[in-house]
Amino acid sequence: MPIVVQKYGGTSVADPDRIKAVADRIAAGHAAGNQLVVVVSAMGDTTDELLDLASRVSVSPPQRELDMLLTAGERISMALLAMALSERGVPAVSYTGSQAGILTDSTHGEARITRITGERVRESLEEGKVVIVAGFQGVDPESKEITTLGRGGSDATAVALAAALGADSVEIYTDVEGVFTADPRIVADARKLDEVPYDEMLELSAGGAGVLMTRSVEFGRRFDVPINVRSSFSEDVGTWVREASMEQAIVSGIAHDRSEAKVTVNRVPDRPGVAAALFGPLARAGVNVDMIVQNVSHAGTTDISFTVPRANVDDAERIAKQVSDGIGAGSVDVDPDIAKVSVVGAGMKSQPGVAARMFETLAEAGINIEMISTSAIRISCVVRADQIEEAVRVLHDAFDPPVITEEPAP
């Protein structure tokens, strides 16, 4: 019997009626003869509400306790879904990440899945049960502590489980009909893509397209598990994220990200070793630096700006100040009011002029570019946060409909 792994996101299990609708869909899949493993997220905005509760009792909650709290969200939805299935006469059992054998490293709040044992999942499947697994969580086998995988982590749970169980593909049910050319909440005429290659989806996700967590796409690519993103509210076939087919768009999508802040260290002495002195301690403190810009030096000093997740900005500021004092640099400024817009497309590898077109389009809209970074298939610009929606819209207008290159890029 084929194993099918499905994942339902927060909106798809937001209230009892939605849970019952999901149970109906699962019951149909079970009746069709599939072995079903279903990963669930916490109901609606539960994770945000739990984070808010934590912030009301503590300014800096211990990471371990935060994980104990947040994992409760997925336990609620998994148990309710198992109950709704029993009610329909479908045998079902729910497991926490730990019970399902999802082993992780020890990094609370952003743990990486290291291995999936999955014994109880397989046993229950053999008994003919639908297995519900709490998304976004695992256990560190050394310390026996419960961990979470980072925001959106249920996607990673689902793709990793599909790989571990040898499923042919994984179905990600969400509140939109697939992956679009831009966030459909911002660009009303964004188009649904039928297919997105793994490498483009990785860049879109890393650029802020929250429809799939970046790490889930990495798992999909590494273990060759095609990902079908689709709506739990309709029967639309959705989008397939998988190996590239023959045609490659020069630009396939626009992503945006409001989750970062910019840190600037002023008057950094322009001599060998200062960048290492700054970014070494940041890396050791686990601060994920995204974009970096170093200005032209004037009178032996230069300014260095970089972006970090807003969640880490206090750590980044503290470390930057320590380093600045140590190397004789000037003040450290933090700017939270920035956002990043990215243009992604594998075809741009073989097509010059995409960057120029992007910069012209932003300039015509009166949007100033503060930082730029590129990869082979992506160009990203940092702009003022209050101009990000306009930036996404004008770029979408400029690059859609897509131009297809005739040959896949080498």
CB of 268 vs ligand ADP, minimal distance in Å: 36
- State the Cα–Cα distance between residues 402 and 214, nearest whole angstrom: 24
Q: Are 402 and 252 in contact (CB under 8 A)?
A: yes
CB of 307 vs ligand ASP, minimal distance in Å: 21
Assess whether the previous peptide bond of 401 is cis (omega < 30° from 0): yes
Q: Are 247 and 323 in contact (CB under 8 A)?
A: no
Q: Quick one: what does residue 120 bind among Mg ion, ligand ADP, ligand ASP, none, with the CB cut-off 5 to 8 Å set by partner type? A: none
Between 277 and 311, CB nearer to ligand ADP = 311
Q: Quick one: what does residue 209 bind among Mg ion, ligand ASP, ligand ADP, none, with the CB cut-off 5 to 8 Å set by partner type? A: ligand ADP
Q: Which stretch binds ligand ASP (CB under 6 A): 55-63, 120-128, 152-160, 317-325?
A: 152-160
In the block, tokens 């190996």 appear at 243
- State the Cα–Cα distance between residues 71 and 51, nearest whole angstrom: 11
Sheet of strand 332-335: strand arrangement: 292-294, 301-309, 260-269, 332-335
CB of 349 vs ligand ASP, minimal distance in Å: 32
CB of 73 vs Mg ion, minimal distance in Å: 13
CB of 119 vs Mg ion, minimal distance in Å: 28
Q: Quick one: what does residue 47 bind among ligand ADP, ligand ASP, Mg ion, none, with the CB cut-off 5 to 8 Å set by partner type? A: ligand ASP
Q: Which stretch binds Mg ion (CB under 5 A): 4-12, 19-27, 113-121, 254-262?
A: 4-12
User: Which residues, numbered 112-141, are part of the site for ligand ASP (CB under 6 A)?
Assistant: 135-136
CB of 263 vs ligand ADP, minimal distance in Å: 26
Q: Quick one: what does residue 35 bind among ligand ADP, Mg ion, ligand ASP, none, with the CB cut-off 5 to 8 Å set by partner type? A: none
- State the Cα–Cα distance between residues 105 and 74, nearest whole angstrom: 20
Residue of 378, 80, 74 whose CA lies nearest to 204 = 378
Integer CA distances (angstroms), 243 to 196, 200, 219, 260, in order: 8, 10, 13, 30
Q: Concatenated DSSP letters for 171-219?
A: EEEESSSS-BSS-TTT-TTPPBPSEEEHHHHHHHHHTT-TTS-HHHHHH
* x/- track of binding to ligand ASP for residues 354-383 (CB under 6 A): ------------------------------
- State the Cα–Cα distance between residues 91 and 123, nearest whole angstrom: 13
Judged by CB under 6 A, the residue of 3, 5, 8, 10 near ligand ASP is 10
Q: Which stretch binds ligand ASP (CB under 6 A): 58-66, 97-105, 145-153, 303-311?
A: 145-153
Residues forming contacts to ligand ADP in the complex (CB under 6 A) are: 9-12, 41, 152, 174-176, 179-180, 182-185, 209-211, 253
* Residue at shortest CB range from ligand ADP: 9
- State the Cα–Cα distance between residues 46 and 77, nearest whole angstrom: 10
- State the Cα–Cα distance between residues 330 and 408, nearest whole angstrom: 48
Coil, strand or helix: which one is 79?
A: helix
Between 48 and 127, CB nearer to ligand ADP = 48
Judged by CB under 5 A, the residue of 118, 152, 207, 345 near Mg ion is 152
Between 24 and 175, CB nearer to ligand ASP = 175
Report which residue type is found at 399.
F
Q: Which stretch binds ligand ASP (CB under 6 A): 55-63, 106-114, 115-123, 151-159?
A: 151-159
Judged by CB under 6 A, the residue of 29, 44, 73, 178 near ligand ASP is 73
In 80-204, which ranges are E strands?
92-95, 102-104, 113-116, 130-134, 137-139, 146-148, 170-174, 195-197
Asked if residue 154 binds ligand ASP (CB under 6 A), the reply is yes
Asked if residue 347 binds Mg ion (CB under 5 A), the reply is no
Residue of 267, 261, 262, 263 whose CA lies nearest to 303 = 267
Residues binding Mg ion (CB under 5 A): 9, 152
Residues binding ligand ASP (CB under 6 A): 9-10, 41-42, 47, 73, 135-136, 151-155
